[in-house]
Structure formats: structure tokens, C-alpha cells
Amino acid sequence: MNTIIWAGIALPAAGVDVESDWAVYVEDGHIVETGARADLSAHHPEAEQFGGAGFLLMPSFVNSHDHGRGVGTMPLGDPDDLLELWLPGLWTLPPVDPYLLTLWESLQLLKSGVTTTAHSHNPRTWEQMEADSRQAIRAYVDAGVRVAFHPPLVDQNQLVYAERSRFVEGLPASLVPVAERFLAPPSLTQVDYFALCARLVDDFHDPLGHTVHLQVSPAGGQWCSDELILAAVDFAQHHGLRVQMHMLETRYQRIYAFKRWGKSFVRHLEEIGALGPWLTLAHMVCCELDELDLLAERGVGIAHNPSSNLRLRSGVAPVPEMLAARLRLGVGMDGHTLDDDQDYLRELRLAWTLANRPGAASPTVTAATVLGMGSVDGAAITLGDNVPVGRLAAGQLADLLLVDWEGVRGLWSAPTVPVEELLLRRGSRQQIRHVMVGGEWVIRNGAHTRLNEDDLSAALRAQFDVHYTAPAHDEAAQMQALAAALRRFYASWDS
Ligand SMILES: [Zn+2]
């Protein structure tokens, strides 16, 4: 169907001039023409029209790093703490239908204006990873969310990054069997992993329509041997895919690199030839500032996750320095927004606020720059540079939002205030009214056009109910004791 979408004001891309009474003409999922509403109406008199004077028309958002968990980990009994203490709890989350959970995640993302997401999969068990991945990908497609889906693999340093024998020797005897569950290597070998990725590429990778991009993920520097990282780069090159890795999320990961090689992770990755424009590094909180130029030279993308880095007590990534080095950045929610609600505009608000640090000599990071991270730059580091997502222009995929602009403006906002500043300071999911993905309205008036939210939430609640009314076991107490042991172990790295 041919449609003209119009609004009283429009922001065709972050940082460009704001337009009034502006429209896009959409055919077969793509934007064919943009311009004044009157001109487009004259050029395409047969097209259906949708919009309104009180809306802001803009590109939709790209969530550059996440895990598609659907429900936050804290409400499920894995409390916020240092990453190293929080991570083991992921293996104790309830076994809820991955298809339904991913539909729920998709619904939260779309209602928040996100139409493309990166999904780094946290397997419930390694044996189930392929079946769960297939269900999750199917759910994104059914809900209308573009996904960069990366199954992960680890092959070293589970639970603690180094000095494993010292850690185990320091455990009380009763905790040893608890820790062993998390210290065990994955049952999936490297050969199994790449065979699994190849099957998922064959069945789902869509480099033309960009509904699903398969990617590979050595999960993080400390958890992966050089051999695994290089095999992932080779596999990605061979299949034309991207690689996403967690990197330098915490101070202990940084310390590990210096203990292991006497140099930083980035220097090591450079030496083994793992840095290139195919790579996106998530977090990068504890990086060396004098290595950012090297990363920019290699074309590496960074996924910045401000809420998650605060909740897991990692700190604040040096975004102004990254921007000064001309690194390309996206923003990801990592399933861990401050309000635990996957509200993407709030996440951009936090990214913008944290990037502007105290001191007259500190650089100013504009709202337009941060909005670019949430759209066109995020698309480049999530799907790739050549994917037509993140701007409203002829030839781009028709992924867009109509935002209740009167709601954002509130009682009064001066017309001179930049649109990006108002949006990032005052906007939230409440004002996301209509969301289009590839020419189809997936959210109309704040509700999904295909999914029934009430039925979906009832089905998920029923599954959680079964798990949490099961006979009480001592897992929570064991996990607390393990967290205390991990806290003591890493505290010794600080001294
Ligand atoms: Zn993550």
C-alpha cells in the first residue's frame, strides 16, 4: 500500500534542520520521496494519508546492545550488584517460554519507539541455545522488530577471570559444589557453535530485507581464547556478518588483561588482528583513553549502555573522549534501564546527561549527537554502515515514529528550543503514539496492531507463577553465599 505520513513538525535525521508540515511517501516498505506535505499530496493523490499537526515525525530508534530478556533480572530474584556477582544468577532464571518472552520484549521495545534491537542471547543451558534462539528470532519477526541476533560462546574463565585455584581453595567446603556448577566449561564446543551459527544464518539471515541479521559473539574478552575470537572474526568475514563482544565493562576485566598479557585488552586484540570495521564492542567503561584513536582508525563501533553500567556498578564510559576520537557510538539498554522499563528515550536522556560532566573545561555533548547515537549511528554499529536505517530519506526503509509533540512540549515550550533538546529532556514512551516498521504500522495509538498485550501478559504470568510457587529450595541462599565469596575474591584485586 502507498502511504503518505505527515506531521506538523519533522526531524528527518538527528542534527538536521527541523521541517514543518513535512511528509514522507512510502511504497513497498521504503521511503520513496520526502518533502512538503502539499507537494507529496500533489505527486501522489491516490496515496492514503496518515498523521496530524500535533505530531513530531522522526526516525525510530536502534537499541544497540541488549539480551531480549523481556523481564528485568532484579524482579526475578537476581539483584543488581557488581557484574561479576550478578552474572551467575542469569543461570538460575525461571525457564519461561522464549517465544512468549521475546514477544513481550518486542512489545516493550516497539512501544518505546525502538524498531531495531541487538540481541545477545543468554542461554538457559548450552544444549537449549539453538532451539531457544530459533524461537526468539521467530518472535521478533512476528512482532515486527528488526534484530541483530548473536548467540554467544565462552571457552575460558567462567565465574572468575583468573586465579581459579586460589578462588576455589578459599571457598568453604559447602560452597565448592555450588561454584563448580558455574566453573564448568560449556557443553558446546567451538565446532558445535559455528555449525549452529551456520544453520541460523541459512535459516534466518536476511541481508536484503534486514528483518534479521545473524551475528557472532565471542561473549567477552576475558571469557574467550584468542583462538575463539579469531575463529569468530573468520566466520563473520566469510559470511559477511558482524561480530559483537562485551568489552572492558568492569575494572576487574581491565585488571585481568594486565595480569594476563601485561597490556590492555585493546592492544592485545590489535596484536592478534581482531580489530576491524566488522566489530562492535559493548560497554568499554574501563578502556584506556589513549587507545580510542586506534579503535577509531580500525572502524570499531561502540555500544554504550549507561543505565546498565550504573546498576551493575561498573561506572560511566568516557563518551566525550570517544566522540572526540571520532568513534561511532550507539546506545543500548542491556535489559537494565534505571526504571527497569526499557524506555529508550529515558536511556538517551541518561546518556546525554552523563556525557556533560562538571567543569568549564569539559566538552559539551549535544542532544543531537546523542539522538544520532540512538538512530543513524546506532544503526551503523548494529546492522552495518550500508543498511538504510536511521534517517528519513528516499531509499531508506520506512522505520519511523509519530510522537505526541504537544505531550512532549507540555504547558509551554518556547519555539526556539531545539527539538532534540526537548525530546531528550522531556520525552518518554508515553508520547510514542504510532510506530512504523518497513512500511507497516506495528503500533497504532500506543498499542500493537497484531499482538494482544493482555493475553500475552496473562500467559507469561501463568508461567512465572508455576516457577515461583514450586517447593522452596535453598538456591537463593547458595547464590548469596557465592556472591559473598566472589566479593571477597575481587576485593583482593583492588588492594
Ligand atoms: Zn550485555
Residues 90 and 187 reside in one and the same domain: yes
CA distance 36 to 10: 10
- CA Rg value for the chain: 23
The pLDDT confidence band at residue 251, using thresholds 50, 70 and 90, is very high
Query: Order of strands across the sheet with 243-247?
Result: 243-247, 279-283, 301-304, 328-331
Please give the share of the chain, as a percent, with pLDDT higher than 70: 99
pLDDT of residue 466: 86
Residues 70 and 203 reside in one and the same domain: yes
Kindly give, in sequence order, each residue whose CB lies less than 8 Å from that of residue 270, ignoring residues fewer than 6 positions away: 294, 298
Q: How far is the CA of 231 from the centre of ligand 1 (A)?
A: 21
Residues 138 and 191 reside in one and the same domain: yes
Least Cα distance to 170 among 184, 159, 156 occurs for: 159
Any idea which residue has 496515496 for its cell? 47
Domain boundary (361, 382, 403) is at 382
Residue at 388 is within a domain? no
Least Cα distance to 288 among 318, 308, 314, 309 occurs for: 318
C-alpha cell, 85:
556477582
CATH number at residue 313: 3.20.20.140
Q: How far is the CA of 446 from the centre of ligand 1 (A)?
A: 28
Residues 373 and 401 reside in one and the same domain: no
Q: Which domain holds residue 47?
A: 3-59+393-448
pLDDT at residue 472 is higher than 60: no
Least Cα distance to 85 among 484, 495, 491, 493 occurs for: 484
Q: Is 165 helix (H, G, I), strand (E, B) or coil?
A: helix
Q: How far out from the chain centre does Cα 465 lie? A: 28
Q: How far is the CA of 190 from the centre of ligand 1 (A)?
A: 21
C-alpha cell, 237:
568475514
Q: How far is the CA of 77 from the centre of ligand 1 (A)?
A: 18
What residues flank ion ligand 1 with Cβ within 5 A?
334
C-alpha cell, 292:
580510542
pLDDT tens-place string over residues 54-82: 999 999 999 999 999 999 999 998 999 99
What does each C-alpha distance from 331 to 62, 90, 184, 344, 365 come to in angstroms? 8, 22, 33, 9, 14
Residue at 302 is within a domain? yes
Least Cα distance to 404 among 53, 13, 31, 60 occurs for: 53
Q: How far is the CA of 55 from the centre of ligand 1 (A)?
A: 34
What are the beta bridge partners of residue 51?
6
pLDDT of residue 329: 98
- Residues composing the chain: 495
pLDDT tens-place string over residues 326-356: 999 999 999 999 999 999 999 999 999 999 9
DSSP code, position 459: H
What are the beta bridge partners of residue 120?
150
CATH number at residue 29: 2.30.40.10
Domain boundary (407, 422, 448) is at 448
Residue at 487 is within a domain? no
Residues 272 and 296 reside in one and the same domain: yes
Q: How far is the CA of 56 from the centre of ligand 1 (A)?
A: 31
Residues 330 and 418 reside in one and the same domain: no
Domain boundary (382, 407, 436) is at 382
Residues 369 and 441 reside in one and the same domain: no
Question: What's the number of domains the chain is made of?
Answer: 2
C-alpha cell, 362:
569539559
pLDDT of residue 317: 98
Residue type, 89: G
Any idea which residue has 521467530 for its cell? 138
Residues 280 and 376 reside in one and the same domain: yes
CA distance 376 to 383: 10
Residue at 480 is within a domain? no
Residue at 464 is within a domain? no
Backbone angles phi, psi at 130, to 5 degrees: -70, -45
CA distance 72 to 340: 6
CA distance 286 to 317: 7
Residue at 469 is within a domain? no
- Residues 133 and 121: beta-carbon distance below 8 Å: yes
Residue type, 24: V
- Residues 18 and 368: beta-carbon distance below 8 Å: no
Lowest-confidence pick of 153-167, 240-254, 443-457: 153-167
Q: How far is the CA of 247 from the centre of ligand 1 (A)?
A: 10
CA distance 398 to 388: 9
Q: How far is the CA of 67 from the centre of ligand 1 (A)?
A: 6
Helices then strands, counting H and E runs in the chain, come out as: 20, 18
φ/ψ bin of 284: left (φ > 0), alpha (ψ from -120 to 50), beta (otherwise): left
Residues 378 and 401 reside in one and the same domain: no
Residues 199 and 344 reside in one and the same domain: yes
pLDDT tens-place string over residues 12-50: 999 999 999 999 999 999 999 999 999 999 999 999 999
Q: How far is the CA of 470 from the centre of ligand 1 (A)?
A: 29
CA distance 454 to 151: 30
Residues 359 and 444 reside in one and the same domain: no
C-alpha cell, 365:
555533548
Least Cα distance to 303 among 358, 243, 363 occurs for: 243
Query: Over the chain, what is the mean pLDDT?
Result: 96
The pLDDT confidence band at residue 471, using thresholds 50, 70 and 90, is low
Q: How far is the CA of 95 from the centre of ligand 1 (A)?
A: 20
The pLDDT confidence band at residue 468, using thresholds 50, 70 and 90, is confident
- Residues 363 and 320: beta-carbon distance below 8 Å: yes
Residue at 466 is within a domain? no
Provide the Cα torsion 481, 483, 485, 491; round to 10°: -150
Q: How far is the CA of 6 from the centre of ligand 1 (A)?
A: 36
DSSP code, position 442: E
Q: What is the mean pLDDT of residues 453-458?
A: 98
pLDDT tens-place string over residues 401-451: 999 999 999 999 998 999 999 999 999 999 999 999 999 999 999 999 999
Residues 31 and 81 reside in one and the same domain: no
